Structure 1
Amino acid sequence: MIVVSAASGALGRLVVAELRTRVPAGQVVAAVRDPERAADLANLGVEVRRGDYDDPASLRDAFAGADRLLLISSPELDTGLRTRQHRAAIDAAVAEGVGRVAYTSFLGAGRAGDPMNAAHHATELALRDSGVGHTILRHPFYSDAFINPGLEAAVRSGTLTAATGGRGLNTATRADLAAAAAAVLTDDAHAGRAYDLTGPLWTYAQLAEALARVTGEPVAAVEADVSGPMGFLMGLARAGALERQTDDLRHVLGRPPTSLRQAVAGALGRPAADTLRT
């Protein structure tokens, strides 16, 4: 049996749906904070159990009988609380005899000293020290944060604003990362591995070109100040922090990750027949 924690989140829902294409529904359990808000998961034929990272007893109940567990990282931003939540989940997995835990970490978390990755690093160490079998899935930032229906505004204006200095981004789509998680959960060949998952490197100039190719409208990328969370992410890109590339995602998926133009076509709901070839 495979349990997906935090299954009511965007990534968790995609993982559950992907698992349904690989194993019978009766072998999948969705662990969620509030089962009443997970009727869509129950409608997929999977069992829904309450599993709250802040309630260790509920985690043991949620993980009971599991052979595999996907521990999706908590959205909590406080490092101490997030680490405690993850350790509670690991303790529950050990207590219930879970055979292997796959954990959604973040790129760079294998090294100490990065405050942004402190909880992920601590969780990776806790998994190592727990003795439970595990697989580490270090994610990049989601492509979905950058490539989404909001790009229609750039198509209408003909201008795509960026503050990346032309540097590349190694994002991956949430759907690809969900498929990778499902592959890891259903294949013992991934036991004991740590994967640094990255999608195809892309720039905002290439994104503007993809928008133009997909929509048939002229779009140009221009550099300007960008504030807020997106400004922070673009600042990381401008510093060259998002350009690391590996073949791990392609290896786990057994196919190329979603291309930039495929992602654009999907985000804008445009026909993808032409985009699938490049």
Structure 2
Amino acid sequence: MIVVTGATGQLGRLVIDALLRTQPAAQIVAAVRSPDKAADLAARGVQVRKADYSQPETLDGAFAGAEKVLLISSSEVGQRASQHQAVIDAAKRADVALLAYTSLLHADSSPLALAHEHVQTEAALAASGLPVALLRNGWYTENYAQTIPSALEHGAVLGSAGDGRIASAARADYADAAAAVLVSAQPQAGRVYELAGDSAYTLAEFAAEIAVQSGKSVVYRDLPQADYRAALEQIGLPSPVADLLSDSDAGAAKGGLFDDGHALSQLIGRPTTPLAKVVQDQLALSGQ
């Protein structure tokens, strides 16, 4: 039995989809905060169980009978370490054969502030004695692609990544990697996967791709980190989100979102999704 936490999130749903291609639905558990939001998964035969990272008492029931657990990192920055510790403790009580965790690319040396709680979680996993696989995910291309409508409106992509190269991949690529680890017949305990896209780009190249595909003028405007943060707040993003995004861009300028090891494509057995395809999909979704 495979348990996927955060299964109604954007990544979690894609992991469930990937698992269903090879595994019986009855052997997959969608562990979710709000089971009513997983009715569609239940309709596909997936077991749906309540599991709230902030309510440790819900986790033992969610993990009952589990052989493998995928811990998808919490979206609540600042609370992740304690929330993840609760999941680790429950997985240990369940005596799972493998706990896979979605960490951050090169977490132990990353310049991104986002890495801090991932490093804490990786330390907690090491201390737990559980069989662990680390899925150190790079950036999702969708993180940038979702800004395309704004870029088209204003004729510019804003950021503070300088000439930093970003080896991102589509969210579905990372989901397929997680599923591959969970169903692998090869031992996965102790594996550390540095997962990133096959090719990399600068934000100037990202802006150029939008321009080519849309037929509109779009340029990249590189800003100091503080100015980019202020711009994000000005368009209505909460301060913590603006902090996260501006810091991540600054980290990208230092190489924090780059890797050329091709571990992701090797793991999923196919090339990662090209930037052009994600841009194309977003333009179609936006009606452009």
Q: Structure 2-normalised TM-score?
A: 0.83
Distance 2:209 2:97 in 1: 44
Give the letter aligned to residue 42 of structure 1: A
Distance 1:141 1:166 in 2: 16
1:223 corresponds to: 222
- Change beyond 3 A, Cα 1:116–1:154: closer
Distance 1:71 1:261 in 2: 30
Offset, 1:42: 1.6
Cα deviation, 1:122-161, whole Å, max 9, x if unaligned, reads 222222232322210011232211112x413434554434
1:258 counterpart = 2:273: yes
Match for residue 245 of structure 1 among 252, 255, 260: 260
Contact 1:7–1:13 (Cα < 8 Å) also in 2: yes
Give the letter aligned to residue 202 of structure 1: Y
1:151 counterpart = 2:148: yes
2:56 corresponds to: 56
Matches within 5 A, 1:153-172: 153-155=150-152, 158-172=155-169
Cα deviation, 1:162-220, whole Å, max 9, x if unaligned, reads 43223211222211111111111110325021011111211122213322332344433
Q: CA-atom RMSD, angstroms?
A: 2.4
Distance 1:85 1:212 in 2: 42
Offset, 1:260: 0.9
Give 5+ residue unaligned stretches, structure 1. Answer: 271-278
- Change beyond 3 A, Cα 1:212–1:73: same
Give the letter aligned to residue 169 of structure 1: I
Cα deviation, 1:212-267, whole Å, max 9, x if unaligned, reads 33234443334345333243332222333323332111111111111110111122
- Change beyond 3 A, Cα 1:112–1:14: closer
Give the letter aligned to residue 282 of structure 2: A
Matches within 5 A, 1:26-175: 26-78=26-78, 81-110=79-108, 116-148=114-146, 150-155=147-152, 158-175=155-172
Give the letter aligned to residue 103 of structure 2: S
Distance 2:203 2:142 in 1: 14
2:237 corresponds to: none
SS at match of 1:38: helix
Q: Structure 1-normalised TM-score?
A: 0.86
Give the letter aligned to residue 222 of structure 2: E
Match for residue 177 of structure 2 among 168, 180, 189: 180
Distance 2:82 2:107 in 1: 17
- Change beyond 3 A, Cα 1:29–1:237: same
Offset, 1:67: 1.2
Cα deviation, 1:72-103, whole Å, max 9, x if unaligned, reads 1122222xx42222122112112112111110
Offset, 1:35: 0.9
Distance 2:8 2:57 in 1: 19
Question: Number of matched residues?
Answer: 267
Give 5+ residue unaligned stretches, structure 2. Answer: 233-241
1:213 corresponds to: 212
Contact 1:112–1:121 (Cα < 8 Å) also in 2: no
